[in-house]
Amino acid sequence: MIKPDGVVRSKIGEIASRFENKGLKIVALKMMKVSREKAEKHYAVHKGKPFYDSLLNYITSGPLVAMIIEGNNCIEIVRKLVGATNGAKAEPGTIRGDFSTGIDFNLIHASDSEESAKYEIPIFFDEKEILSYERADKEWL
């Protein structure tokens, strides 16, 4: 998910292209304004933590871009491309390392496991919105 700060900073194309350039496939993508209810469900794991309310306010403050990405070792690769949660500690060359200077506005969310992805995807997408196709360069990836 490209968070509101990534959207308003015009980083959608640059972020999405990093995944595609790595050989991953975007099978669903949409811009939306997330309701408080969806945000609460998405961030339920953080409920009760001191930053929970500010996280909900942040994610509902503007449009975001939700994506589903597929590919070999997808979660591991996406997490490496995204970088450390705190942009100040993220390696240069990662999305957060290149565009974020802290933890509050870190541009992007990525599922940390297959279980997380299975929980998060239905919050933002219906099955009919997820498309299947083959990349033209599949055999080279």
Tens digit of pLDDT for each residue in 59-109? Answer: 999 999 999 999 999 999 999 999 999 999 999 999 999 999 999 999 999
pLDDT value, residue 34:
97
- What letter represents residue 89's amino acid? K
Q: Average per-residue pLDDT in the chain?
A: 96
pLDDT value, residue 79:
97
Residues in a beta bridge with 65: 2, 31
pLDDT value, residue 141:
83
Q: Which helix (H) or strand (E) holds 97?
A: helix 95-99
pLDDT value, residue 15:
98
Q: Would you please indicate which residues are annotated as catalytic (active-site) residues?
A: 109
pLDDT value, residue 47:
96
For residue 19, pLDDT over 90 is answered with: yes
- The number of helix segments (H) and strand segments (E) in the chain equals 7, 2
Q: Strand runs (DSSP E) across the chain, as ranges? A: 25-32, 64-70
- Can you identify the CATH homologous superfamily of domain 4-125? Nucleoside diphosphate kinase-like domain (3.30.70.141)
pLDDT value, residue 83:
98
